[in-house]
Homo-oligomer: A and B are copies of this chain.
Amino acid sequence: MSRYILKIDCQDEKGLIYRISDAVFGYKLNIVKNDEFVDKEYGKFFMRAELSGEINKDEFFKTLKTMLPEGANIYIGLKDKKNIVLMGTKESHVLGDILLKHYRDELNANILAVISNYDDLKELAEKFDIPFFCIAYDAVSREEHEKKILSKLQELKPDFIVLAKYMRILSSSFVEQYKEKIINIHHSFLPAFIGANPYKQAYERGVKIIGATAHFVNNNLDEGPIIAQDVITVNHEFDWKDMQRAGRNVEKMVLSTALDLALEDRIFVHKNKTVIF
C-alpha cells in the first residue's frame, strides 16, 4: 500500500469536506491523518490529508478538480524522500547540522549538492560525500553569477533549495523561478532586525531575547512567509559575538524544524503567511 499526501486549498463553501471525503472513499483510500483550516478573513479552505491505498494520481486529481470550486489548488504526491540542494557561504553550523542529520538518515531528503560562492565549505561537504560546487562571484556580474547557479539547479532539479547561511541576496528573477521552494534562515526574530548583522542590531538595542526565523524567500529581503521561529534569552553580559554564538543553536533548530515541515508537504502559503499542519 502506498502513502500519499493530498493538499487542497480553495474558496470555502458548504459541503467541501463531504465531497472530498466522498472522493477519497470512492477511491478506496484510507485517511491516516487529516487537517483542515478555514481562514475566515478570506473565506479560504485549506486541507492536508495523509492517505493510504493505491490510486492513479491523474485520475484522482481529475475527480477532485471537477468537484472543487474553480481555482482550487490540488497537490497529490507520494509520501517519499524529496531532493534538496543546500547553498552556503562560509559559516558551517547550519550546513553541518543538516549534513549530520542526513548522515544519520534522519532527514527525509536526499542532498543532491552543496553550492557555495566560496570554497570554505568544500571540505565539510566532502567529508559527508556530498557533491560541492563552488560558483564564485568575484569575476562575474550578479546576473552572470545567478545564471551559473540556475544552470546547475536546472540540472539537479531539487524540490527545495535550502539557504544554509547563504549570504548573498537573490534577485527577483531568480526567486521567481523557485517560488515557495527556497527556504532561508535569518538570524533574528523577524520582523525585528531585518538586513545585515542582526546580532549587532540586537546588541545595540539591548533586547533580552534573540531568535531566528526560517522563511520562504520572496522578492523582498527578509519579508517572505514565515515558517518557524524560536528565541532564547540573553542578558547584559552578552556582547554581539556572544549573541551570535548562542544564536547559532537556535538557527540550527529553527531551520531544521522548517525543513522538516517542507519535506513533509505541511506548508501552505497564502497572502504572505503560512498555514502549517
Q: Name A76-117 residues within 8 Å CB distance of B.
A: 92-93, 96-97, 100, 103-104, 106
Q: Which residues of B contact A249 (CB under 8 A)?
A: 252-253, 256
Instruction: Return the contact of A208 from the options B32, B35, B226, B245 (Cβ within 8 A).
Output: B226
A100 near B104 (CB under 8 angstroms)? no
Cβ of A71 < 8 Å from any Cβ of B? no
A236 near B36 (CB under 8 angstroms)? no
Q: A273 vs B154: C-alpha distance in the bound complex, in angstroms?
A: 49
Interface of A is mostly: mixed
B208 near A225 (CB under 8 angstroms)? no
Q: Within the oligomer, what is the number of copies of this chain?
A: 4
Cβ of A192 < 8 Å from any Cβ of B? yes
A interface residue numbers (CB < 8 A to B)? 14-18, 21-22, 24-25, 30-41, 92-93, 96-97, 100, 103-104, 106, 124, 127-128, 189-193, 205-209, 211, 225-231, 235-237, 239, 245, 248-249, 252-253, 256, 272-276
